[in-house]
Structure 1
Amino acid sequence: MTKTRARVLRPNRGQMEFRASDLESLLPEGHRARLVWAYVERQDLSRFYAGIRAVDGGVGRSAIAPEILLALWLYATLDGVGSARAVSRLLESHDAYRWLCGGVQVNHHTLSDFRKDQGEGLDELLSVSIASLMAAGVVKLKQVAQDGMRVRASAGAGSFRRKEKLEGYLEAARAAVARLKAEAEADPAQAERAREAARLRAAKEREARLEKALARLPEIEAIKQRQGKNPDQARASMTDAEATVMKMGDGGFRPAYNPQLASDADSLVIVGVEVATVGSDQGQMVPMIEQVTARCGQLPEAWLVDGGYVGHEQIEQASQSTVVYGPVPQPKDKAVDPHQAKASDSEAVAAWRQRMGTDEAKVIYKRRAATAECVNAHSRNRGLQQFRVRGLAKVKCVMLIFALAHNLMRMVSLAPELLGLGTGASAVPGIGV
């Protein structure tokens, strides 16, 4: 007897389907993209609108609303995406990014230009977000922890050259610019002129990068000299002059930046952002205290740092504004009490030594790791492993967006009413830092 073959329905994934659906229905209530938009639409973006030349009744193409571009970068940061090209690809396939755009076409050039050109606006937004959290009683600045985190730069390790090489490359670059200018003026063909213009633009950019590298060398030479090394061995990158070869967490040496974050210990809100171009944290404490004081309008009561910050000069200056909690270096002679004031100590340094020997100070200092390391870990988890931009100004913009995104999620957890979400963290279930 012939066995009957079962008749079943099999998937046909090549079949075209047409679905009627609006963008609003793509995301459920409480979706992170909706939280980002709730934050963005409540901000005063007049500084971002100031550069838009298209106006009602005028000519020219309408500009993309800054709210869309800011929301895309905040959501992408929370999503661990740091590349403008990667974001532009997600605009075609990811419902959250499509919802944020609302049908507006955005390319990677626009995204990239927005991020690198809006440093002042992003800095102002950070101050406003902190002020709103302070007004809500979330941020109190009783204890602020500062820490640095070395992040790989976009520059390649092979792009670093010494002075003699850089000068040779710069001379060749200037000659190439002069030659291309002459060729562009002599050739009447429009298509060829366009290609020559592109080559000339690239040559000028290379010339500018080499000039920056040579201008950075004296600073690197001074660092080498302070370290007791031969300043003639100083090298600067031809692609990102402000990147510096630093010792990383794994013990290797790579081009990097040293972002500095200051965070409120009670709320884990970032209250200060800076980027250093040196691998050491020495000298970074006082500028950050000054920034946080100016940004928040009040002095922090206590400042928590690790051993990389506690130079005597920094302790003396910082003690005029706040109480410093940082570890006292252990003396070579184990019989010497490190917390006992020395004859050469200033009043501020002696007070710091004695303070760090008390049980109260040890309890307070434990909060440093719980604050700074936690904030750093969240930044790493959100993709802060390597910068995709070059130059200190652009890197600072990236860090400001990280701080804004981080503070947004703290706002959701601690003060959701600022986003119109209710009066408790439970108003948005499942949302953490």
Structure 2
Amino acid sequence: MAYRIGNREQMMLLPQSIEDYVGSDDPVRAFDAFVEALDFSKCGIIINPKKVGDPGYNPKAMLKLSLYGYSYGFRSSRKLERAVYHNLSFIWLMGDLKPDHKTIAEFRRKNKKAITNVLRQCARLCIDLDLIEGNTLFVDGSKVRANAGINHMWTQKRCEKSLQRIDARIEAILSESEKVDRQEQELPSVVTMREELQDKKVLRFKVEKILKKLDEEGQKSVNTTDEECARVKGRQGTHAGYNVQSIVDEKHGLIVHTDVVSESNDSNQFAEQINQANDILEKNGSVACADAGYDNTDELKRIDGQDIKVIVPQQKHTSNKKDASFDKDKFRYDSGKNCYICPEGHVLSYRTVDTVRKSKTYQITDSSLCMSCQHFTVCTTSKRGRRISRLINEEDRERLRLQYEEPESQAIYKLRQQKVELPFGHIKRNLKVNAFLMRGRDGARAEMSLLGTCFNMARMITILGIPGLIEKLTS
């Protein structure tokens, strides 16, 4: 069987015009049309062609390069620099402009806030194109590594231990130095000890500065590489990272809003993220849905109070714990007498309130009733008798539970996974994003804005096709 053999000496004739480098249905043309359709003044970038001084690169061209590069896994400035030399679609997109990696990195660094607004404008364009309805919104969070190592994460305990070791070493160096004769001042060993002593003093100053920052700001930990990242736990272990929040619309699964927070869990994020999405939509949706990680009654009430149906399961709905015969829900609450009635008919009266946990405590009046009960050791093992905690807003929590268990709500919740998990899957698997490149929350937010826009562009191309999307963007 014959083989096809390549010939590097073969004469070829490229098109005379860069415009002919890519076809009319090439995806790069959709990205070009999208950026041209953006209102850069709303993004916060002023385009002034009459600006005096050395000519710079057009911000539109630089944004096109970043957005298109992120869509195909070219995230680092050096990879983007190589692409504008060797990749025809990048050459066409940039009109043969060839910014170096420093210029590309500087554009992203100086325009973090502006890049963050790109996804907002993308969502507004999708609303105008009737691709986002904003009636049902799905919320989800995912952990993404920061551009910092977990070894640079400092806690108060670590600072105190480090100071103890440094002080011990400084004391040892001073003690050893005293034993050295004055005539041996210039020996290499003495010089080395002096250098080490100075290094230890510098390190001690840095650790004391970190400890002071922890005390003043009330933080549990701080990372010396990226001070805004947090210690997060993911499927790949514990690392320094951010908690990425995403709001997805039901109609086509397009991203309405993304955010990056420094909290390791989602329990305090529901209301804030939904409100920001509603601000972009310029209206309130009818349904807001999330998983059990957002189970925080106070947060859910903030959205439920806006006449938005909240569909969020409680932790017990997703736990594998078997339903016990003497769980709290097996005890009847008497609102008139403000007490609980156990399955055996005994009364648990109100005792105290826990302002930290925002709960009330109920305990059986006569502990001997529990001790003599046939279910003792099953219901409780305490010699003081059975105790129950009831949240101050227990009525709201129960109402939200019943709301989640409605058949209509279950159908919406089942749809949640299809819609809200897809963007994270595309970003982490297809685009190979396992960590942010930029440091700080503003940098991470800017990157998430680009990544969210990349996903929306891929979905819009799938829904409308490249010619159809270009036509709508340019009309």
| TM-score clears 0.5 | yes
Q: Which residue of 2 aligns with 1:387?
A: 436
Which of 413, 430, 448 aligns to 1:399? It is 448
Structure 1 unaligned spans of 5+ = 1-8, 169-205, 223-233, 424-433
Distance 1:410 1:152 in 2: 25
Distance 2:9 2:310 in 1: 66
Which TM-score applies when normalising by structure 2? 0.68
Matched, 1:257 2:305: no
Q: Identify if the C-alpha distance between structure 1 residues 48 and 214 changes in structure 2 by more than 3 Å, giving closer, same or farther.
A: farther
Q: Which residue of 2 aligns with 1:283?
A: 268
Q: Which residue of 1 aligns with 2:25?
A: 30
Q: Which residue of 2 aligns with 1:292?
A: 277
* Amino acid in structure 1 at the alignment position of 2:223: S
Q: Identify if the C-alpha distance between structure 1 residues 237 and 212 changes in structure 2 by more than 3 Å, giving closer, same or farther.
A: farther
Once the two structures are superposed, the pairs formed by residues 22-421 of structure 1 within 5 Å of their partners are 22-46=17-41, 50-51=45-46, 55-56=49-50, 59-162=52-155, 164=159, 217-218=214-215, 222=219, 234-250=220-236, 252-321=237-306, 322-330=308-316, 333-335=323-325, 336=327, 344=390, 345-380=393-428, 381-415=430-464, 419-421=469-471
1:264-321 residue CA offsets vs partner (Å, 9 max, x unmatched): 0221111111101121111011110110111111112111111110111112212112
Distance 2:244 2:7 in 1: 51
* Amino acid in structure 2 at the alignment position of 1:254: H
Distance 1:398 1:264 in 2: 21
Report how far residue 10 of structure 1 moved: 7.5
Report how far residue 337 of structure 1 moved: 8.7
The question of whether the paired residues in 1 share the 8 Å contact of 2:62 and 2:104 is answered with yes
Report how far residue 215 of structure 1 moved: 7.4
The question of whether the paired residues in 2 share the 8 Å contact of 1:48 and 1:66 is answered with no
**SS at 1:151's partner residue?**
strand
Distance 1:317 1:338 in 2: 25
The question of whether the paired residues in 1 share the 8 Å contact of 2:44 and 2:114 is answered with no
Distance 2:419 2:212 in 1: 37
Q: Identify if the C-alpha distance between structure 1 residues 320 and 97 changes in structure 2 by more than 3 Å, giving closer, same or farther.
A: same
Distance 1:259 1:218 in 2: 27
Q: Which structure has the greater CA radius of gyration? A: 2
Q: Identify if the C-alpha distance between structure 1 residues 221 and 14 changes in structure 2 by more than 3 Å, giving closer, same or farther.
A: farther
Report how far residue 323 of structure 1 moved: 1.3
Distance 1:166 1:30 in 2: 62
Distance 2:43 2:161 in 1: 38
User: Higher strand fraction: Structure 1 or Structure 2?
Assistant: 2
**SS at 1:150's partner residue?**
strand
Distance 1:319 1:160 in 2: 38
* Amino acid in structure 2 at the alignment position of 1:272: H
Distance 2:112 2:231 in 1: 25
Q: Identify if the C-alpha distance between structure 1 residues 319 and 29 changes in structure 2 by more than 3 Å, giving closer, same or farther.
A: same
The question of whether the paired residues in 2 share the 8 Å contact of 1:149 and 1:260 is answered with yes
Q: Identify if the C-alpha distance between structure 1 residues 263 and 62 changes in structure 2 by more than 3 Å, giving closer, same or farther.
A: same
In the alignment of these two chains, the number of paired residues is 363
* Amino acid in structure 2 at the alignment position of 1:91: V
Report how far residue 334 of structure 1 moved: 2.9
